[in-house]
Structure 1
Amino acid sequence: MKIGLVLPNIPSYSETFFKNKIVGLQQNGHTVILFVNNSEAESKYHNCTVVKAPKLNGNKIIVLWNLLLELLKMIFINPKRSYRLYKFNKKDNVSFIKNFKSIVSNQFLLTQKLDWLHFGFGTMAIERENIAQAIVAKMAVSFRGYDHYVYPQKNKNCYEILSSKSVKYHVLSDGMKKSLEEKGISEANISKITPAIDINLFEALIIKKSTGILQIKTIARLHWIKGLEYTLEALALLKTDGIQFHYTMIGDGIEKERLVFAVHQLGLSENVTFTGKLSPQEIKEELSKTDIYLQYSIQEGFCNAVLEAQAMGLVCIVSDAEGLSENVLHNQTGFVVAKQNSKLLFEKIKQVIQLPEAEKKNIQEQAILRVQNEFSLEKQKERFIEFYQ
């Protein structure tokens, strides 16, 4: 098959989800074409042709030239597909001006003959709901946490048109699947494929009880959605209780300045380190020196970092935000705490510190085994092959 994958940009080194999917499809004889919004992206990626959206903002001369090129494509290269897209959009009551803009700006998506057109994020399918039909391809859409839980809160009915189309949905968790079903999407059109990790890189490493300062870590974007302020408040209670620890926050983001100030206000300056982004190998090294892993998010689709921590045998404490309660099985492979409650998190950390070694080892071993059996890259590849069949 020929599969078009629509993404904001070429996958970065940390986006193993997309890289693994692409390689798996290629190994099974399928052709993958990447469509990216970034007009300055590379033209090749893992033996994939990269088709780039035209640059339609910025320098006026460049924009006018690109508009002319897209109009020529519309008239001489993609006239039938452009007309079909116009008709389908019109049927959805899209205004003439908006319809025309959509046809011009999406010419790069009309250029290839495909079996599947797959939007890598739900938000990328908005106002592009008819493109797959216009090029006579099947349509697939992946929903992640932000697409499914956050964006619709700010943009009511944003998926109304999408839900009326023939679409195959990919979701990360049973919770997301149930939510789509409640919105009227047929169960037959929804496939759950969880994130996966390189279990050879993040190999099992049972962490022994720390003989020094307790090492606690989190890997996350520095964003309000990750619940990091609640985490810091819980750690402040831990410090007040006289427990010695050091907390390392791995990642970067728009909330860094506010979080650094929160660390200062809570009297945790000597207890907290911000590392910024790290490579997978560097993350593995950090995790190997960790006693407890925290992911106390307000919202989370699933979370690869928690899988990596479990694969290495860390005791994980997570919130009950969406996919996290499926990622970690409470009292079996880790612990799940109600979100947005710093005191509850503090109490759970104390309980984990006091766990008997035998009980802790049992949880670690169950976590390792479950990740190896259910969340390997090979298993994920198999599920995507099935998805397109």
Structure 2
Amino acid sequence: MKIGLVLPSTPGYSETFFRNKILGLQQNGIKVILFVNDYKSDEYFLNCKVIKAPRLGGNKFKVVLNIFMQVLKMVLVSPRNSLKLFILNKKDKLSTTQNVKQVIANQFLLTEKLDWIHFGFGTMTLGRENVAQTIGAKMAVSFRGFDIGIYPLKHPNCYKSMFQKVNKIHVISDDLANLLYQEGLSEYKKIVKITPAIDTHFFLSEAKKENAILQFTTIARLHWKKGLENTLEALCLLNQQGIDFKYTIIGDGGEKERLIFAVKQLKLTEKVIFTGKLSSEKVKKQLEATDIYIQYSLQEGFCNAVLEAQAMGVLCIVSDAEGLSENVIDKVTGFVVPKQQPKLLFKKIKEVIDLDDAQKKELSLKAMERVQNEFTIEKQQQEFLNFYEEN
């Protein structure tokens, strides 16, 4: 079997979801070809053939040269597939100008014979809905939070054409499947849930030391959808109660300046630490020192960091955004709080702090056991193998 995986870029060393999936397929004799917009230089890179998309933006001279090269490829390498794609697009009532642009832009996808072409993100199918049929492959699409939770708000019915042509859709949570149905996906289409997974051999609970003051942690891109301002507002209320703590935020992003301003306004400057991105080893070390992990996102597909925290035996408080309420079972392996309600989050943090040691230990053990049983890389790899092999 030969599978083409369409991604924004070659997966870096830290992008474990795609790397583990690819390795699992390769170990079962499946050839994987990567189609990407950008190539990351990475000494750990996987043993895959990589086909890079032409760059059709930026320097005008280079754009003209790239278009010329793609036209040559269309004429000399893939004339039949190019014509077939043009005809299929025309049936979808695409304008001639837009049709020609798509045929040129998608040349890099037309040269390989594949059993499956799998788009790693829903938005990557836009303008490529007919590529799979053109090359005689089955079409698979993965949806995560942004693809279906946010993008369609600005682009209604953007997936209407793709829904009619896709063979299988992969989601990471039931909530995302429900969003797909709300967006117009017919019930009969095959949706397969394969959750994220973590290295449960690496993220193992260590003997925790008692902290002099409470340690809270969040691992997140500094983006509005992560709900970090709401988290800070809840911790401001905690601070006003005279409870001492440190809050560590691991991650980078465009909202850092805004968040630093919020920290100052809420008088939490001495309480909050921004570390930027950290290695897996440093993340593990921080989780070992954490009393409560908080992921109070406004939108979240699932969140590996919450799995890692649970695997380490850290008590977790999350919002009810999409997959988080499946990631953590409320009052069994952690706590789920309605999103965008900082006062409720504050109350829940206070409640968790006040739990006795036996209650905390029971929650931690159940969380660790569930992650070890249900969210392993080995289980995920087998599920992806079944995804492609089963009708």
Q: Scaled by the length of structure 1, what TM-score is found?
A: 0.97
Question: In the alignment, which residue of structure 2 is the partner of 1:319?
Answer: 319
Question: In the alignment, which residue of structure 1 is the partner of 2:192?
Answer: 191
Q: How does 1:281-360 map to 2 (within 5 A)?
A: 281-360=281-360
Question: Shift in Å at residue 187 of structure 1?
Answer: 4.9
Question: Shift in Å at residue 302 of structure 1?
Answer: 0.4
Question: In the alignment, which residue of structure 2 is the partner of 1:95?
Answer: 95
Greater Cα offset, 165-174 or 43-52? 43-52
Distance 1:44 1:342, change over 3 A: closer
User: Which secondary structure does the structure 2 equivalent of 1:198 belong to?
Assistant: coil
Alpha-carbon contact 2:216-2:292 (below 8 Å) kept: yes
2:146 maps to amino acid: Y
Alpha-carbon contact 1:43-1:49 (below 8 Å) kept: no
Question: Shift in Å at residue 43 of structure 1?
Answer: 12
Distance 1:23 1:244, change over 3 A: same
Question: Shift in Å at residue 207 of structure 1?
Answer: 3.8
Determine the C-alpha separation between the residues in 2 that align with 1:327 and 1:43: 32
Query: 1:86-140, CA deviations, whole angstroms, 9 ceiling, x for partnerless residues?
Result: 0111111111000000000110011111100000000000110000100000000
Distance 1:39 1:58, change over 3 A: farther
Distance 1:344 1:370, change over 3 A: same
Alpha-carbon contact 2:78-2:110 (below 8 Å) kept: yes
Question: Shift in Å at residue 167 of structure 1?
Answer: 2.6
Question: In the alignment, which residue of structure 2 is the partner of 1:108?
Answer: 108
Query: 1:315-335, CA deviations, whole angstroms, 9 ceiling, x for partnerless residues?
Result: 000000010000000000000
Q: How does 1:161-172 map to 2 (within 5 A)?
A: 161-172=161-172
1:136 maps to amino acid: G
Query: 1:216-250, CA deviations, whole angstroms, 9 ceiling, x for partnerless residues?
Result: 00000000000000000000000000000000000
Alpha-carbon contact 2:13-2:44 (below 8 Å) kept: no
Distance 1:80 1:283, change over 3 A: same
Question: In the alignment, which residue of structure 1 is the partner of 2:2?
Answer: 2
Greater Cα offset, 34-43 or 130-139? 34-43
Query: 1:193-218, CA deviations, whole angstroms, 9 ceiling, x for partnerless residues?
Result: 0000000110123645x441100000
2:299 maps to amino acid: Q
Between the two proteins, the alignment pairs up a number of residues equal to 388
1:15 maps to amino acid: E
Alpha-carbon contact 2:35-2:52 (below 8 Å) kept: yes
Determine the C-alpha separation between the residues in 2 that align with 1:215 and 1:85: 56
Question: In the alignment, which residue of structure 2 is the partner of 1:132?
Answer: 132
Determine the C-alpha separation between the residues in 1 that align with 2:375 and 2:258: 34
Determine the C-alpha separation between the residues in 1 that align with 2:310 and 2:124: 32
1:275 maps to amino acid: T
Calculate the aligned-residue CA RMSD, in Å.
1.5
Distance 1:228 1:43, change over 3 A: closer
Determine the C-alpha separation between the residues in 1 that align with 2:35 and 2:253: 26
Question: In the alignment, which residue of structure 1 is the partner of 2:62?
Answer: 62
Determine the C-alpha separation between the residues in 2 that align with 1:342 and 1:55: 44
User: Which secondary structure does the structure 2 equivalent of 1:345 belong to?
Assistant: helix
Distance 1:198 1:44, change over 3 A: closer
Question: In the alignment, which residue of structure 2 is the partner of 1:18?
Answer: 18
Distance 1:246 1:42, change over 3 A: closer
Question: Shift in Å at residue 282 of structure 1?
Answer: 1.1
Determine the C-alpha separation between the residues in 1 that align with 2:59 and 2:263: 42
Question: Shift in Å at residue 279 of structure 1?
Answer: 1.1
1:198 maps to amino acid: D
Question: In the alignment, which residue of structure 2 is the partner of 1:234?
Answer: 234
Determine the C-alpha separation between the residues in 2 that align with 1:327 and 1:62: 46
Determine the C-alpha separation between the residues in 2 that align with 1:215 and 1:42: 34
Alpha-carbon contact 2:33-2:48 (below 8 Å) kept: yes
Determine the C-alpha separation between the residues in 1 that align with 2:312 and 2:181: 35
1:273 maps to amino acid: I
Distance 1:105 1:263, change over 3 A: same
- Percent identity over the alignment is 59
1:123 maps to amino acid: T
Query: 1:137-172, CA deviations, whole angstroms, 9 ceiling, x for partnerless residues?
Result: 000000000001010011111111111113310001
Question: Shift in Å at residue 76 of structure 1?
Answer: 1.1
Alpha-carbon contact 1:9-1:41 (below 8 Å) kept: no
Q: Scaled by the length of structure 2, what TM-score is found?
A: 0.97
Determine the C-alpha separation between the residues in 2 that align with 1:223 and 1:111: 38
Distance 1:199 1:233, change over 3 A: same
Determine the C-alpha separation between the residues in 1 that align with 2:343 and 2:89: 51
Determine the C-alpha separation between the residues in 2 that align with 1:42 and 1:316: 33
Determine the C-alpha separation between the residues in 1 that align with 2:44 and 2:198: 24
Question: Shift in Å at residue 286 of structure 1?
Answer: 0.8
Question: In the alignment, which residue of structure 2 is the partner of 1:378?
Answer: 378
Q: How does 1:210-289 map to 2 (within 5 A)?
A: 210-289=210-289
Query: 1:351-371, CA deviations, whole angstroms, 9 ceiling, x for partnerless residues?
Result: 000001001100000000000
Query: 1:165-194, CA deviations, whole angstroms, 9 ceiling, x for partnerless residues?
Result: 133100011112233345343355110000
Determine the C-alpha separation between the residues in 1 that align with 2:293 and 2:188: 34
Alpha-carbon contact 1:43-1:50 (below 8 Å) kept: no
2:386 maps to amino acid: E
Question: In the alignment, which residue of structure 1 is the partner of 2:203?
Answer: 202
Question: Shift in Å at residue 68 of structure 1?
Answer: 1.1
Determine the C-alpha separation between the residues in 2 that align with 1:206 and 1:301: 31
2:195 maps to amino acid: T
Alpha-carbon contact 1:298-1:321 (below 8 Å) kept: yes
